[in-house]
Structure 1
Amino acid sequence: MEPGVRASRVLVRRLLDPEFVEVGASGRRWTYDEMPAALPGMEGAAEDGPRYEPSEMAGAVLAPGLVHLTYTTVIDGRRARRSSLWRRHAEDDTWRMYYHQATPVPPQVG
């Protein structure tokens, strides 16, 4: 969620699993190749622009090397509930996002 990471294709690729898929808040489906190319131009990537404010983070281990993370974000007054799966890569002991989904939360929903 940090602007410096979102703006860097190299850093984004380090955080994404090669089989990464996202269903964004817009409903668009993103892949491993598409996301690093698009993120630098998206909201949240500019140091002087709006930033994501995360809250309500919770994680659950689903299996060895697989974690489900849920949280809520607000950016520029818009709220979304988010869910991601993170896989551990044993060869370099890193965690990478395998799947992500964002669901917009209408203003009237608590």
Structure 2
Amino acid sequence: MNVNSIKNELLQLEKRLLEPEVRSSAKELSKLLADDFFEFGSSGKIWSRKEGLSPNGIGVVRMQLSDFDIYPLSEDIVLTTYKIFNEEKMQHSLRSSVWKYKDTKWQMVFHQGTPIV
């Protein structure tokens, strides 16, 4: 894959993680989040896939994604960066994710949200 196709694919995956039907489904989330996934949330909470994934997913929120970019770290690991606007909290945050390509698919292994103050 070339950088543009990787960027497009990862943008679509990041957008999927904002969709209510994905966020409310542990089954759908488990396809996108690696077994060893962990997050430093914008709330300051740290959670792992095992701790954070309930049968009802991770909760539905209304967010807008902008300023998306990628930074390849190796052939199969990519850092994504972007901004999120949480429509419910009326809060902007900076986001970064680390994605790993394994077994013919991308999975998120790390995510961080940092509020913009």
**Aligned residue in 1 for 2:59:** 42
Considering fraction of residues, name the structure with more strand: 1
RMSD: 1.5
Which runs of structure 2 are paired with 1:6-25 in the superposition (5 Å)? 6-25=23-42
Which runs of structure 2 are paired with 1:14-93 in the superposition (5 Å)? 14-37=31-54, 40=57, 42-44=59-61, 51-76=62-87, 77-89=90-102, 91=103, 93=104
- Cα gap change, 1:38/1:79 in structure 2, threshold over 3 Å: closer, same or farther? farther
Which of structure 1's runs of 4+ aligned residues deviate more than 6 A? none
Report how far residue 99 of structure 1 moved: 0.4
Count of equivalent residues: 98
TM-score of the pair, normalised by structure 1: 0.83
Considering fraction of residues, name the structure with more helix: 2
Cα distance between partner residues in 1 of 2:86 and 2:55: 18
Identity between Structure 1 and Structure 2 (%): 31
TM-score of the pair, normalised by structure 2: 0.78
Cα distance between partner residues in 2 of 1:30 and 1:75: 20
Of the structure 1 ranges 34-43 and 5-14, higher mean CA displacement relative to structure 2 is found in: 34-43
1:10-50 alpha-carbon deviations (Å, 9 max, x no partner): 00011001110100001111101122218746341xxxxxx
Cα distance between partner residues in 1 of 2:33 and 2:79: 15
Report how far residue 75 of structure 1 moved: 1.1
Unpaired stretches in structure 1, ≥5 consecutive residues:
45-50
